[in-house]
Chains A and B, each alone.
Chain A
Amino acid sequence: MDLHYEKQGDIQIVHITGRIDSTKADLPGKVIGKTIENGNRQLLLDLSGVSYINSAGLLAILAAAKRLRNPGDRCVLCGLSGEVRGIFELAGFTKILEIYPMVGDAISYW
């Protein structure tokens, strides 16, 4: 799993690629935690390069979303492949997280 950062105005974009399984599932949690501690409270997680995610990865994302619940905070996801989106749906996460098709869609609706 690799992470790449991009800033667009107040939006901190984190592009994640690879598999998010239990071997590295704490990494998104740590990265997001650090990003939030650095004062970024508007987060866009781009999963367009993610081929797989398991429950540990889902829970790291849920934990981040739970931390960004103050007025003005955002935790938004985009770029889910069909398979990855299927896992989010089975977990019930598509109902509780804000998800857009691509980075451009997420930013245009920000």
Chain B
Amino acid sequence: MKTCFHFSTKADIENLPQIAGWLEETLAGAGVGEKDQFEIGLAVDEACSNIILYGYADRSGTIDIESCIRDDELTVTIEDAGKPFNPLEVTPPVLDADIDHRKIGGLGVHLIRSVTDDLFYEYRDGKNILTLVKVRGAVGCG
């Protein structure tokens, strides 16, 4: 069985807690475990932060999120009409660099990759469409 929920909000940094709250409530209501909630929540927060801070840096717009829950996996699709940005092309950070050589970039996308099992991106009809897939109950952080 598959159950889907939809949420749309203005791409404003102040709305990030609202997105997190909606997702948590939706997943908890559908019986998704706390660890899966926390991890997919992190991935969605990172993705939406990128969209708001970079994709919509020079324009206003909306973010549309669809969360689908199946018995064995969660899928979250995030759409925005900001600047084209393919997170799959972001260079991963060098995790074993020492503190003086540790670079700032790429950490958000690295976290998204780390807590999801699959990631799909396409740019279609002027929109970035990012799909995050998480197998329920799989090993992640924490």
Residues of the A chain whose Cβ atoms lie less than 8 Å from the Cβ of B115: 90
B38's nearest neighbour on chain A, judged by CB, is: A83
How many positions in chain A have a CB within 8 Å of any CB in the partner chain?
Answer: 27
User: A4 at interface (Cβ–Cβ under 8 A)?
Assistant: no
Is A23 a contact of B100 with CB atoms below 8 Å? Answer: no
Q: Whole-angstrom distance between the alpha carbons of A66 and B103 in the complex? A: 11
Interface residues on B, range: 20 to 34
Across chains A and B, the number of contacting residue pairs, with CB separation under 8 Å, is: 81
Verify B49–A22 contact, CB threshold 8 A: yes
Q: Which of B9-17, B25-33, B58-66 contacts A (4 or more CB under 8 A)?
A: B9-17
A residues at B contact (CB < 8 Å)? 19, 21-23, 52, 54-56, 58-59, 62-63, 65-66, 69, 82-83, 85-87, 89-92, 95-97
Rounded to whole angstroms, the CA-CA distance of A63 and B14 in the bound complex is: 23
